[in-house]
Structure 1
Amino acid sequence: MHLNTTLSATLLTVTLAAITPAHGAENRISPEIESVTISHQGEPVIIARGHDRDATLPEEFQKTDRGCPPFCVQPMVAVPGVETIGELELLDYLKRIEQGDDSILVVDSRTPDWVLRGTIPGSVNIPWNTISRDSAGTFETPAEADTFRHVLADEFAAEPLAGGGWDFGEARTLVLFCNGIWCPQSTANIKNLVGIGYPLHKLKWYRGGVQDWVSVGLTTITP
């Protein structure tokens, strides 16, 4: 497991054993927050900001023209009633998970190839296409439908009803993100979940995604 502790044209990785992040008041996350320690796949990770004043964005986030569709600028509100959050709110959810609150799940909706380039520590990768249906609300194959049911039951803690449908009374609060404000993947997931009855108050959207996360120098992690 490796960490990206600074922004550069390529993701800088060091081993966990070698992590010695600078803790200085000159580059705090906020006036009240210097760093946040969480667990990622059983390993401790310190989320902090980089201290290289000459750092630049990773190459994959320097591109501005991506073509729309599909990479269209997303609205500020994915679905009315679903809260849009920023970095500090996301950090608060991660801290709550670290403190033992298993009613929350931070979901990286991107495909695995993007996750390999770096993700937000403490998140779980559930690729967007495993919980996205077509415009008719169906899946192309029974296997895709089975995967969707598995994610709802095992990852999101929803309960299948005998007569069909789902009971979301004890389902987790999901905080979903993808690459950034030009990425439609987490937006599509939120719309699909709302379409099957997932409670609006249990869905949160980090609209800025990984691009905003690295833009402010926050730690990312690679599998």
Structure 2
Amino acid sequence: MTRWLGVVWLVLACALPARADDAQPLRITQQSHEFVVQTPGGPMVIKRDKTACGAPLGFIQPLVPQPGVTPVSELDVLNALNDRATLVVDMRDEDEPLEATIPNSYHLAYNELEDRLDVLGCARLGKNLWDCAGAFKIVAFDYGPMCIQAPTGIANLLRLGYPVSQIYYYRGGMLDWEGLGLTTVAGNRPLPKAPATQ
């Protein structure tokens, strides 16, 4: 019963507008604060209200952050958590221990990837040069649909030569995971130097 009350509270909190004094318009896309829809009653402007769950600095991320990256759902993430050939990676940039993350996931911040591809199965060839022939399949996530951290990390991985066929993106992130009432754990679980064998 308590768990259901928590889920109801989270859903209501996410649906309610926050303080009215947030004067700066929130972005829907990187370039736009509004979207005009032609309805039978005339044009209607869609804007974004600040909610308790919405990050004001973010904007809606595409379902496919880079061409060739595979989007996944919660069911895919659940299956990946038991797949020894897949690493579920929390790409949020947090210096302090995470209050909540997906169980059995690893923490590797999006802005630390350039020096850490070895833990994802790549071999260093030189400064920012990697051989990723043995790269693990990864499922990347962050705070949720408004967060740019995992998409930025994915773009960095591709720039460094990580194979796009090995990258999966859970856009829902922690916002959707917690909104569905799925179990979370606290703490940052770092990737070991040599992850489990593929």
Q: TM-score, normalised by structure 2?
A: 0.67
| Cα distance change, pair 84–170 in 1 and its aligned pair in 2 (3 A) | same
Distance 1:59 1:111 in 2: 27
1:46 corresponds to: none
2:121 corresponds to: 157
How far has the Cα of 1:160 moved from its partner? Answer: 1.9
1:57 corresponds to: 10
Report which structure shows greater RCO (CA 8 Å, sep ≥6).
Answer: 1
Local SS of the residue matching 1:161? strand
Local SS of the residue matching 2:169? strand
| Cα distance change, pair 54–82 in 1 and its aligned pair in 2 (3 A) | closer
User: Identity of paired residues, percent?
Assistant: 33
How far has the Cα of 1:124 moved from its partner? Answer: 0.8
Give runs of aligned pairs for residues 110-149 of structure 1, distance below 5 A.
Answer: 110-112=92-94, 116-131=98-113, 148-149=114-115
| Cα distance change, pair 127–58 in 1 and its aligned pair in 2 (3 A) | farther
CA contact (8 A) 1:115 1:125 kept: no
1:80 corresponds to: 67
Distance 1:54 1:202 in 2: 33
- CA deviations on 1:46-85 (whole Å, 9 max, x unpaired) are xxxx455874229996625533xx4111011101100010
Distance 2:137 2:7 in 1: 38
Local SS of the residue matching 1:193? helix
CA contact (8 A) 2:7 2:179 kept: no
1:134 corresponds to: none
The code of the aligned residue for 1:159 comes to A
Distance 1:163 1:74 in 2: 30
Distance 1:115 1:163 in 2: 29
Q: Choose the corresponding residue for 2:89, options 87, 90, 107.
A: 107
Cα RMSD (Å): 2.8
**What number of residue pairs does the alignment pair up?**
151
| Cα distance change, pair 52–157 in 1 and its aligned pair in 2 (3 A) | same
1:218 corresponds to: 182
Local SS of the residue matching 2:10? coil
Local SS of the residue matching 1:222? coil
Distance 2:111 2:141 in 1: 14
CA contact (8 A) 2:53 2:175 kept: no
1:196 corresponds to: 160
2:191 corresponds to: none
Question: Which blocks of at least 5 consecutive residues in structure 2 are unaligned?
Answer: 15-50, 188-198
Distance 1:185 1:60 in 2: 23
How far has the Cα of 1:182 moved from its partner? Answer: 0.3
2:33 corresponds to: none
CA contact (8 A) 1:159 1:166 kept: yes
| Cα distance change, pair 191–60 in 1 and its aligned pair in 2 (3 A) | farther
4+ aligned runs moved over 6 Å, structure 1? 58-61
How far has the Cα of 1:220 moved from its partner? Answer: 0.6
- CA deviations on 1:10-48 (whole Å, 9 max, x unpaired) are xxxxxxxxxxxxxxxxxxxxxxxxxxxxxxxxxxxxxxx
How far has the Cα of 1:163 moved from its partner? Answer: 9.3
The code of the aligned residue for 2:88 comes to V
Q: TM-score, normalised by structure 1?
A: 0.60
